[in-house]
Amino acid sequence: MNTIKISDISLRVSDQALSSSLSFKEKLEIAKLLEKLDVDVIETGYVTEEAADAVLMRTLASTIKSSVLSAPVYPDTASVRRTFDALQKAQSKRINLIVPTSTVQMEYIYHMKAKVMLEKIAECIRLAAELGVEAEFTAEDATRSDRDFLISAINTAVECGATIVTLCDTTGEMLAEEIGAFVSELKASCPALEGVTLSFECKDNLGLASSACLAAANAGVKQIKVASCGITGYTSLEKFMHILQVRRETLGFESGLKYTELQRTCQRLETLTGHSGRLSASDEGDEKIELTTDSDMTTVRRRLSALGYDVSDEDMAKIYTLFMELAAKKKVDDRDLEALVAENARQVAPTYQLESFVINSGSSISSTAFIQVNRKGVPLQTVSIGDGPIDAAFLAIDQLLGHHFELEDFRIQAVTEGREAQGDAVVKLRANGRLYSGRGLSTDIIEASIRAYLSAVNKIVYEENAR
């Protein structure tokens, strides 16, 4: 019986496949559910220059223990280094270079000719291998690529250190027998594939993705890429595993996934992506309700409760007044509600006030943060090292307090435009089973993040002292 490894790409494709982006908390919970299901590989989104991407990746790296954490990179060595830095704490980590290999896609997406693309593949895969991380090469649009160039790209990637090669039917229009023939012919023409793990990813435009993946497995593919969470357009985790389980003996394939827990887990994943954060809903049944000026305080409170907030009557009255003012101007979503909670709920006299901070960060040094706060007139200061400037700053605050808080969510967004744009940071910390939000504003996104973290900490300290 041959074992097929399962790589879930839900987090990687969610921003394109879903009508709105998943939150930090949703992405973290999805990864945890997939790990409990014993998915072999969990693929994440890209680590861009946005600070929130790096914080999410570092949180996932510290959380996921049994599954391989795979992060995609662009054909750019800066992308590889940035991603590697965020992945360092992962138990099992992989860097996945994803590039188109068809002429049309190479020139349309990256404006590169074949020769330049080969050079980029070599640089990025070689760097990943030198950094000591498992390297994967993914050939997008492989089924429509010039065969000679595709073989050259694979040979280049393998020679430079790639141990996994993924072939993609990006249009999802090939029949199962055509996919089987494509993989078999490519293996015969490219001996380098014999020494690596061959992987396959397929769109589901014709509804035949599962059959195509099985045909690829019959031709020698050892890893199949699937999407869960109710994400359509890709090979479905639930459908593929159902076929594999029902026809296991006939097909001669098996997987290490916990099949008995599959349906329940998939339902939970679909609920995460289909309900939370997309439309506000009451907790009575599955009917989705949009929050408007007609929504009463009870409905708004239910939505806050569903988001994890336990708001006092006094705070709720204040939040509801501000909600009505906001709803008269725009459609209010969950992020608006969370900002109202962060700004107004449990406002307390700050125990800790930021005095100053110094951040040192760069591509060739570890990020360090010097933080000085004032605690009721007493200056406190410390220095901490972290995986990036914001991580270092948060760790320094934890160090000052002598306590590590669970980071539930973290977001940064610009609230004004231009070079002097005002950054708005929201941090959610969990302590004693409750959720505490803090908000910080500054033209410096690191300062905004520090102020948001301290704001949440002050609420936690206040309530603990009040007990």
Give the pair of three-digit tokens for residue 199. Answer: 């992987």
pLDDT reported for residue 312 = 76
Residue 321 pLDDT greater than 90, yes or no: no
User: What is the domain partition of the chain in residue ranges?
Assistant: 2-274, 297-344, 352-466
Q: Given a cut of 80, is residue 378 above it in pLDDT?
A: yes
pLDDT at 279 over 80: no
Find the mean pLDDT for residues 343-352: 70
The CATH number corresponding to 2-274 among 3.20.20.70, 3.40.50.1370, 3.50.50.60, 3.90.660.10 equals 3.20.20.70
- Most confidently modeled range among 154-158, 296-300, 440-444: 154-158
pLDDT tens for 212-232 read: 999 999 999 999 999 987 688
Amino acid at 114: A
The residue that leads in pLDDT, 351 or 133, is 133
> Which amino acid, 301?
R
Per-residue pLDDT, 263: 83
Q: For residue 153, with 0-12 CB atoms within 10 Å meaning exposed, 13-18 middle and 19 or more buried, which class applies?
A: buried
By the 10 Å C-beta count (0-12 exposed, 13-18 middle, 19+ buried), 160 is classed as buried
Give the separation between CA 193 and CA 187, rounded to whole angstroms.
Answer: 6
Residues present in the chain in total: 467
Q: For 248-253, what is the mean pLDDT?
A: 88
Total-model pTM: 0.67
How confident is the model over 423-427, as a mean pLDDT?
82
With bands split at pLDDT 50, 70 and 90, how would you rate the model's confidence at 344? low
For residues 58 and 391, the answer to whether their CB atoms sit within 8 Å is yes
Q: Please, are residues 161 and 125 in contact by the beta-carbon 8 Å criterion?
A: yes
Give the C-alpha separation, 296 to 307, whole Å.
17
Q: Is 285 helix (H, G, I), strand (E, B) or coil?
A: coil
Question: Which is more confident, 93 or 305?
Answer: 93
Q: How confident is the model at residue 262 (pLDDT cuts 50, 70, 90)?
A: confident
Residue bearing the bigger pLDDT, 425 or 19: 425
Helix, strand or coil, per DSSP, at residue 133 = coil
Is residue 128 predicted with pLDDT exceeding 50? yes
pLDDT of residue 325: 84
Give percent above pLDDT 70 in the chain.
91
206, pLDDT greater than 50: yes
Over residues 69-84, the pLDDT tens digits come to 999 999 999 999 999 9
Question: Between helices 147-159 and 176-189, what is the axis angle to 10°?
Answer: 60
The whole-angstrom separation of Cα 268 and Cα 263 is 9
Instruction: Report whether pLDDT(414) > 70.
Output: no
- Strand 352-362, strand 365-375: pairing: antiparallel
Q: What is the mean pLDDT of the chain?
A: 86
Q: Which two tokens stand for residue 197?
A: 């793990």
Structural tokens at position 120: 């980029």
Q: Write out pLDDT tens, residues 10-49.
A: 999 987 777 567 888 889 999 999 999 999 999 999 999 8
Query: 245 vs 5, 216, 224, 249, 256, CA distance in Å?
Result: 14, 17, 15, 9, 11
| pLDDT above 60: residue 161 | yes
* Domain topology for 352-466: Double Stranded RNA Binding Domain (3.30.160)
317 pLDDT band, cuts 50/70/90, is confident
Strand stretches in 2-118, DSSP E? 2-3, 5-8, 41-43, 68-73, 93-100
**The pLDDT value given to residue 404:** 85
The per-residue pLDDT for 459 is 85
| pLDDT of 419 over the 60 cut | no
Sheet of 434-442, strands arranged across: 406-414, 423-431, 434-442
Provide the token pair at 217.
């497995």
**What percentage of the chain has pLDDT greater than the value 90?**
51
> In this predicted model, which residue has the larger pLDDT, 5 or 291?
5
